[in-house]
Amino acid sequence: MAIGAHYGDAIPVAALLSFRLGGSDGVAIEAAKWRGALGALGFSTVTVAGSGPVDHLLPGLAIGADTPPARSEVEAALAGADLVVVENLCSLPFNPGAAAVVAAVLAGRPAILHHHDLPWQRPQFVGHPPPPVDPRWSHVTINGLSRRQLDDRGIAATTIYNAFAIDPRPGSDIPVLLPDHGDRGERVRDALGIGPHQRLVLQPTRAIPRKNVAGGIDVATALDATYWLLGPAEDGFGPELEALVGSARCPVVLGPPAGVGSFEIHDAYQACDAVALPSTWEGFGNPTIESVVHRRPLAIGPYPVAAELAAFGFRWFPLTEVDRLDAWLTRPDASLLDHNLAVASARFSLRDLPDRIARVVPDL
């Protein structure tokens, strides 16, 4: 039964709160999925963030804001909310002042702290305290590693893995064919200057140190392919990215293609021949499952959570075995793609997200 059904004619309100929402970063993408799932549970939803296209914009919540929001601002933005889902703002200390204000406002109120990362998982934040706790709050992690690390610090948590629209039904905009790239894929490849018999390796991430752009370039070089980095340089990584591109021994494409009209992440996956996720750290790493949904082989780095996800049975190609990926691309075997899709459908489907969230909603 939907949670909202318990309220009769009253519709409960869930507020999603973060540093930024509505964008293309992993936290914002998963928050949007949670918003849909909460709607399926009978909640009306509102969004609150320091930046982005949200219902309540509080600049003091933003990453690196000079001044945190006043308590009265946060209270006003959350007025009427029966449940508050805090997306990473009380997890990583990007804005400790704002996190303290939010924790104070939420004391004694039903809330879910949705942890995508934790301080000790980032070198620059080692030594920062763990997230705040309250008897009315539930803690949710996106991987088992974080759940165990919180438990070691006396904080009970539940793992809800990131979820994905996996069902490739007729009429879906999720491409399912390989090696036929389809019309949208061909238009993107043409815009990128990639011929029909050239290989294209997609790294669908931003350019920051932990994304290991050098590793992605190495994968494309070993496959005699063009390397396509979809996201921008952030956190001051621009000069290093420029140097990496300048020394690359394979063609490099940066950013979305021009002249394609509307462009979505699905188009990028459909256009590529293989996906690279060479990261040294990810809280989850959405390209792991996105590559599966779009039926593309994945070259993956040895970040800790990658092994946790692979243990479900996925057949990916470690960075140390790119020669095996080369052989697979030469003679594609659809059974590998079928197997990966079956694993993802059983364990990471968006259709199951509402029920999983329902189990961690505190008593309202």
Is residue 193 a part of any domain in this protein? yes
Residue 8 neighbours by CB under 8 Å, 6+ apart = none
Average pLDDT, the chain: 93
Is residue 204 a part of any domain in this protein? yes
Share of the chain above pLDDT 90, in %: 86
Residues 112-124 pLDDT 10s: 999 999 999 999 9
Q: Mark whether 75 and 12 lie in a shared domain.
A: yes
Q: What is the pLDDT of residue 174?
A: 38
Q: Mark whether 218 and 126 lie in a shared domain.
A: no
pLDDT band for position 166 (50/70/90)? confident
Is residue 256 a part of any domain in this protein? yes
Q: Mark whether 141 and 199 lie in a shared domain.
A: no
CATH number of the domain where residue 265 is located:
3.40.50.2000
Q: Mark whether 331 and 190 lie in a shared domain.
A: yes
- Chain centroid to Cα 31, Å, comes to 9
Residues 51-62 pLDDT 10s: 999 999 999 999
Q: How far is CA 132 from CA 70, 81, 96, 136, 359, in A?
A: 19, 20, 11, 12, 21
pLDDT band for position 24 (50/70/90)? confident
Q: What is the DSSP pairing of strand 83-87 with strand 225-229?
A: unpaired
Average pLDDT over residues 106-112: 98
pTM: 0.91
Q: Mark whether 255 and 291 lie in a shared domain.
A: yes
Q: Mark whether 158 and 259 lie in a shared domain.
A: no
Q: Mark whether 337 and 354 lie in a shared domain.
A: no
Query: Which segment of 84-88, 103-107, 232-236 scores lowest on mean pLDDT?
Result: 232-236
Q: Mark whether 189 and 59 lie in a shared domain.
A: no
CATH number of the domain where residue 142 is located:
3.40.50
Count structural domains, the chain: 2
Structure tokens at 167: 């069902």
Average pLDDT over residues 334-345: 95
Q: Name the DSSP letter for residue 284.
A: S
What does the alpha-carbon distance between residue 341 and residue 330 come to, in Å, rounded to a whole number? Answer: 21
Is residue 142 a part of any domain in this protein? yes
For residue 107, give its domain range. Answer: 3-163+350-358
What is the edge-to-edge ordering of all strands in the sheet holding 317-318? 252-254, 225-229, 199-203, 274-277, 298-300, 317-318
Q: Mark whether 138 and 74 lie in a shared domain.
A: yes
Q: What is the DSSP pairing of strand 111-115 with strand 137-141?
A: parallel
Q: Mark whether 65 and 192 lie in a shared domain.
A: no
Q: How far is CA 319 from CA 199, 229, 243, 284, in A?
A: 17, 17, 22, 17
Is residue 11 a part of any domain in this protein? yes
Is residue 173 a part of any domain in this protein? no
Q: What is the pLDDT of residue 169?
A: 43
Q: Mark whether 126 and 192 lie in a shared domain.
A: no
Q: Mark whether 141 and 223 lie in a shared domain.
A: no
* Residues forming a β-bridge with 44: 13
Residues 205-227 pLDDT 10s: 999 999 999 999 999 999 999 99
Q: What is the pLDDT of residue 28?
A: 95
Structure tokens at 148: 């165990």
Closest C-alpha among 131, 110, 107, 111 to residue 120: 131
CB 328 within 8 A of CB 317: yes
What does the alpha-carbon distance between residue 202 and residue 199 come to, in Å, rounded to a whole number? Answer: 10
Q: What is the pLDDT of residue 185?
A: 84
CB 86 within 8 A of CB 114: yes
Is residue 197 a part of any domain in this protein? yes
Is residue 137 a part of any domain in this protein? yes
